[in-house]
Amino acid sequence: MPVDSAQKKAIEHNKGPMLVLAGPGSGKTLVITRRTQWLIEKAGVAPGNILVVTFTRAAAGEMRNRFDRLMDGRHLPVSFGTFHAIFFTILKHAYKYKVENILSEDEKYGVLRDIVHQIDVEMDDEKDFLMDIAGEISRVKGDMLSLEHFYPSNCSKDVFEEIYEAYSEKLKRMRRLDYDDMLVQTWQLFRDYPHILAAWQKKYAYILIDEFQDINRVQYEIIRLLAKPENNLFVVGDDDQSIYRFRGAKPEILLGFSKDYPDAEMAVLNRNYRSTGAIVKRAEQLINHNEHRYVKNMQAVREDGEEIWVKAFKKPADQYVKIIREIVDAHEQKEIPWEEIAIIFRTNVQMSGLVEQLMVYSVPFVMKDSVPNIYQHWIAKDIFSYMNIAFGGTSRTDYLRIINRPNRYISRSYFDEDPVNLSNVKDYLENREWMVERVEQFEYDICMLSSMGPYAAIQYIRHSIGYDEYLKEYAAYRGIKSDDLLEILDELMDKSHAYETWEAWFEAIEKYSETLKIRSRQRFEETEGIRLLTMHGAKGLEYALVYIPDANKDISPHKKAMTESDKEEERRMFYVAMTRAKNSLRIYFTRERYGKPAEMSPFIGEFLAF
């Protein structure tokens, strides 16, 4: 396959550092594999002295396979691997670690759960809390921060430090290391033992890094040490596709590469071989609104093709039905394979509405990212516990779950019987008239709920019982935004509209939950059906027909994007989603959401240039 002039410049770069800016569809994998071949065949570099680093095992496997094909099937000893795989190999040599020393993600959450229970952290959303804490621990390690200068966003500084130190101590006692420790310990090893560093510098004389925009601080510091003294460091990335800041990625590292290596050469791969001219043009108009970036002036190799479709709908359900009808038509009339159709969402939470409709219309689909089941959310479980009791349930679990949501100041100790008998509870409280009144008010509310359909019941729980106020108080205690919690209730109410009875809704919920469970076990690459992805999950993929639904303000850009750098990252995510499309791109938004007015995403105005 012939290469263009920019690709040729990158492939045939001789020695020293080089930054390759590779726009969407510009052939970066080809450049990395061809350069590896060139180093061996033209520059005389021994294959065992070349290291190619990727960010995922799948990418490393694909790169290795393409390189092997390029070398006519010869399996040369070039090292292809992720940062974690390469660095764990180094640690194995130094410390005799085995695979058994690695802490799995499930084990990690188990350790954190035990610690949180031991120090008695008060929270109602354990799963979310543990995920947030795990993410912040990872950030401390990846950014090489001291605890003293780190301020968590999910709990108090004191609580976070106690959890962090207990977690670190537990891993030391177990002689286990998590994935972030692989990086930190490799950096410490190289810093403290120059002779070990020198041996690995000699081993990996030429280093090539893919997706360089996703590198974090500790990864970069290790690579800088490893590349010395020759600095034969060849990095390929696209600052416009840096969308993993939440995982610790530092796009500023790519932007500052030329300062760290003033003698670095640069190649700009700005020819898009994937998308039509219309898609490339609109995507370029969008990303040009970002200020902190390298200008690339991406050009399409292909013809303009059809213009991007932008459509408005009244509400999300209308939009989803339209999408389904269009993709069925595209499959049946235009013979586009299901696997060449993708629907890309800003977050996986948004997918549930479309998933329910796809089930109704029996359209095959597969999800790359797991979709959180809203009916398994702790807030939904609270609502269902209220209704279980309203329908005559006497489970102690249901009572304990909601008796103080909102706070009725009734001790859990009064509910030690299972099944619960409220008459007995009132007998225990006969000398505390004010508490008896609260139990009687609870009984009255339960009686009211028993005659209500889903929508009216949720409304009553929220406003008459005071559940909304409870969520606001809880959000303030946790230091999170109450809007995020209230939106769960908004979505539940929105879904409840379609059902007159709880029986009908519970039946639909059971069917939906079972299907979701089955779909989550399917292998994305091997399953027939349209592709449902998030903007993060879509990176590196391409499809003939792409939809971006819910292109609304507060979704894209997300309402949590407060700073200018946050908004630039949101724009990069939208850019990544747009540039997944090869032939057709359709972007839809709605005029209302959860019964409230909704605005079009400002990104639409930017790429349409009005």
The model's pLDDT over 246-288, given as tens digits with 9 standing for 90+, comes to 888 999 999 999 999 999 999 999 999 999 999 999 999 999 9
Examine the pLDDT at 429 and tell me if it is beyond 80.
no
Per-residue pLDDT, averaged over 590-603, amounts to 94
**Of 188, 178, 222, 205, nearest in space to 83 by CA:** 222
Report how far residue 558's alpha carbon sits from residue 483's, in angstroms, rounded to the nearest whole number. Answer: 13
pLDDT band at 408 (very low <50, low <70, confident <90, very high): confident
- Percent of the chain scoring above 90 in pLDDT: 80
Strand partners, 234: 18, 208
For the ranges 10-19, 338-347, 471-480, 560-569, the lowest mean pLDDT is seen at 471-480
Q: Is 438 strand, coil or helix?
A: helix
Residue 48 lies in a domain: yes
Would you say residue 282 lies in a domain? Answer: no
Q: Which amino acid is at 216?
A: N
- 120: nearest Cα among 162, 90, 80, 167: 162
Contact indicator for 302, 277 with CB cutoff of 8 Å: yes
Over residues 72-89, the pLDDT tens digits come to: 988 899 999 999 999 999
Strand order in the sheet with 530-534: 309-313, 581-590, 543-548, 341-345, 530-534, 365-367
The DSSP bridge partners found for residue 558 are: 554, 555
The mean pLDDT value of the chain amounts to 93
Residues 392 and 493 reside in one and the same domain: yes
- Name which of 556, 543, 453, 464 is nearest 502 in CA terms: 453
- Which CATH number do you get for residue 136? 1.10.10
pLDDT at 234: 99
Last residue in a domain, options 176, 210, 236: 176
Indicate the DSSP class of residue 308: P
The closest alpha carbon to 550, from 497, 489, 600, belongs to: 600
CATH code of residue 555: 3.40.50.300
Together in a domain, 209 and 90: yes
Q: Is residue 191 part of a domain?
A: yes
In a domain, 109, yes or no: yes
**CA 109 centroid distance within chain:** 17
- Whether 515 maps to a domain, the answer reads no
Residues 148 and 113 in one domain: yes
Both 224 and 248 in one domain: the answer is: yes
The whole-angstrom separation of Cα 82 and Cα 275 is 28
Query: What pLDDT sits at residue 101?
Result: 96
**Degrees to nearest 5, angle at CA 181 with 176 and 184:** 145
310 and 247, same structural domain? Answer: no
Distance, in Å, from the CA atom of 252 to the CA atom of 249, rounded to the nearest integer, reads: 9
Tell me: do 123 and 261 sit in the same domain: no
Residues 132 and 17 in one domain: no
Dig out the tokens for 1 from the structure: 């396959």
**Are 250 and 323 found together in one domain?**
no
Q: For residue 423, how far is the Cα from the chain centroid?
A: 48
Residue type present at position 207: I
- Do residue 381 and residue 399 come from a single domain? yes
Residue 66 shares a structural domain with residue 115: no
Q: What is the pLDDT of residue 502?
A: 96
* The last residue of a domain, from among 247, 269, 291: 269
Beta strands 592-593 and 581-590: pairing type?
unpaired
Q: How far, in Å, CA of 518 to CA of 149, rounded?
A: 44
Omega cis (within 30) before 602: no
What is the total count of domains within the chain?
4
Choose among 358, 369, 375, 360: nearest CA to 495. Answer: 375
- Which range of residues forms the domain containing residue 219? 5-95+183-269
H or E segment to which residue 18 belongs: strand 18-22
Spatial contact of 208 and 180, defined as CB atoms under 8 Å apart: no
Q: What percent of the chain has pLDDT over 70?
A: 99
10, HSE (Cβ side, Cα atoms, 13 Å): 30
Residue at 287 is within a domain: no
Give residue 488's Cα distance to chain centre. Answer: 19
Beta carbons within 8 Å of 489's beta carbon, 6+ residues apart: 379, 383, 458, 462, 467, 468, 471
Question: CA of 339: how far to CAs of 364, 468, 529, in Å?
Answer: 10, 42, 6
User: Where are the alpha helices (H) located in 16-148, listed in sequence order?
Assistant: 28-41, 57-70, 83-95, 105-118, 126-142
- Are 384 and 439 part of one and the same domain? yes
Strand 592-593 relative to strand 596-597, pairing: antiparallel
Q: Where among 176, 209, 236 does a domain terminate?
A: 176
Instruction: Determine the average pLDDT of the residues in 556-569.
Output: 93
* Tokens 């469970």, residue located: 517
Residue with tokens 């450049």: 31
Residues across the chain: 610
CA-based nearest residue to 308, from 331, 328, 282, 333? 282
pLDDT tens-digit series, residues 38-57 = 999 999 999 999 999 999 99
pLDDT band at 368 (very low <50, low <70, confident <90, very high): confident
- Tokens 């594999």, residue? 33
The C-alpha atoms of residue 436 and residue 431 are separated, in whole angstroms, by: 9
- Tokens standing for 100? 């058994």
Tokens 């609502």 sit at which residue? 383
**294 in a structural domain:** no
Confidence of residue 527 (pLDDT cuts 50, 70, 90): confident
In this structure, is residue 275 part of a structural domain?
A: no
Whether pLDDT at 469 is above 60 = yes
- What whole-number distance in Å separates Cα of residue 49 and Cα of residue 79? 8
Residue scoring higher pLDDT (418 or 191): 191
Give the whole-angstrom CA distance, residue 6 versus residue 32: 13
pLDDT at residue 610, rounded to an integer: 56
- pTM across the whole model: 0.90
Domain match, 136 and 230 both: no
| Long-range pairs for 161-167: beta carbons < 8 A, 24 or more residues apart | 162/119, 163/112, 163/115, 163/116, 163/119, 163/121, 163/133, 163/137, 164/137, 164/140, 166/115, 166/118, 166/119, 167/111, 167/112, 167/115, 167/137
Q: Which residues lie below 8 Å from residue 295, measured CB to CB, with a gap of 6+? A: 288
